[in-house]
C-alpha cells in the first residue's frame, strides 16, 4: 500500500493537473519560464484570439500557476511556480515507491544471476 506522506490540497492538485493536461497551457508555461509575457505574446505562437488565450490563462491562474497584472489595457503574466510544488511532491512519492520496487527487483535478478553462475561454475 502506497503511503503518501505529502500533505496537499486535493482541489489544488486537481487544478494543477487539469491545467497541465493541455498542450497549449504547457507551452504558455514554458514561455513564462523565460520571463513575463503579455497575453498577446502568449497567444501569438498558437495563432489564437486574445479571448481564447485569456481562457487558457484563466485556467492557469485558477491553478495558481500564473499571476496576471493589468497595467492599463495590457495584461502581463508571469509564472508562479509554487503551485507546481504540489504536483511535484505528489509525483515524488510515487517515484520513491517505484524506485523501491525496482531496487527489490534488481536485487532479485542479481541473486538469480549469482545462483546461475554458481551452478555453472
pLDDT tens, position by position, 61-103: 999 999 999 999 999 999 998 888 878 888 888 888 787 788 8
What domains are there in the chain, each with its CATH number? 10-91 (1.10.10.10)
Q: Are 16 and 86 in contact (CB under 8 A)?
A: yes
Helix (H, G, I), strand (E, B) or coil at 50: helix
Percent of the chain with pLDDT over 90: 54
Structure letter (DSSP) for residue 46? G
Residue with cell 520571463: 35
Q: What letters, b where the CB count within 10 A reaches 16 and e where it falls short, cover 58-67? A: ebbbebbbbe
Kindly report the average pLDDT of the chain as a whole number. 86
Amino acid at each position: 500500500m502506497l503511503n503518501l506522506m505529502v500533505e496537499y490540497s486535493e482541489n489544488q492538485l486537481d487544478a494543477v493537473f487539469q491545467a497541465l493536461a493541455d498542450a497549449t497551457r504547457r507551452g504558455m508555461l514554458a514561455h513564462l519560464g523565460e520571463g513575463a509575457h503579455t497575453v498577446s505574446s502568449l497567444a501569438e505562437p498558437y495563432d489564437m484570439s486574445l479571448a481564447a488565450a485569456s481562457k487558457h490563462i484563466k485556467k492557469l491562474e485558477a491553478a495558481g500557476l500564473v499571476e496576471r497584472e493589468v497595467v492599463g489595457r495590457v495584461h502581463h503574466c508571469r509564472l508562479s511556480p509554487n503551485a507546481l510544488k504540489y504536483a511535484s511532491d505528489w509525483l515524488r512519492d510515487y517515484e520513491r515507491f517505484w524506485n523501491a520496487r525496482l531496487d527489490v527487483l534488481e536485487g532479485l535478478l542479481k541473486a538469480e544471476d549469482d545462483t546461475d553462475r554458481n551452478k555453472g561454475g
